[in-house]
Amino acid sequence: MDYQTAKKHIYQNMYMNLFIAIADDDIQKGIALIKEETTCDEPTAKCIWCDLKMDYGTKETNPIIKARENYQNEKLFQEYQYRKNAECPYCHSKNTKKISGLSKVGSVALWGVFAVGKVSKQWHCNNCGSEW
């Protein structure tokens, strides 16, 4: 298969394994996939690989690269959130939140003297419901 025909065939039939090879920058796997799909020779497959790498080698054009970056960002954010929160002394969960000053003021306004217990607390556990 000549270069133009093979390139047209690859671009019309882009599939996930080729996107993954581009995202991993795995030249050997990419060339093997191109040769398998188009039955072209090695130099033609290398030229097509270079074109694909230029066209789909960025996060804007390759869904795999974008998904991996989003996953990493989300994972880092979750780790940050997990470290930032206090640990519940009763159930040892990190699923906690800080009790806001507005919440304390609202409790005092609504319950008066009976809200004194909550006013001195700083954290609320979303897992067991305790406050400390």
Domains of the chain, by residue range, sit at 3-64, 86-132
- 76-122 pLDDT, tens digit per residue, is 888 877 777 788 899 988 888 888 888 777 777 877 766 666 677 88
**CA angle, residues 18, 70, 80, in degrees to nearest 5:** 145
Lowest mean pLDDT of 12-16, 23-27, 90-94, name the range. Answer: 12-16
CB of 40 closer than 8 Å to CB of 48: yes
The reported pLDDT for the residue numbered 70 is: 92
Rounded Cα distance between 50 and 52, Å, is: 5
> What Å distances lie between residue 9 and 18, 29, 36, 40, 86, CA to CA?
13, 18, 12, 11, 56
Could you tell me which of 1, 8, 52, 9 has the C-alpha nearest to residue 29?
A: 52
DSSP 3-state of 97: strand
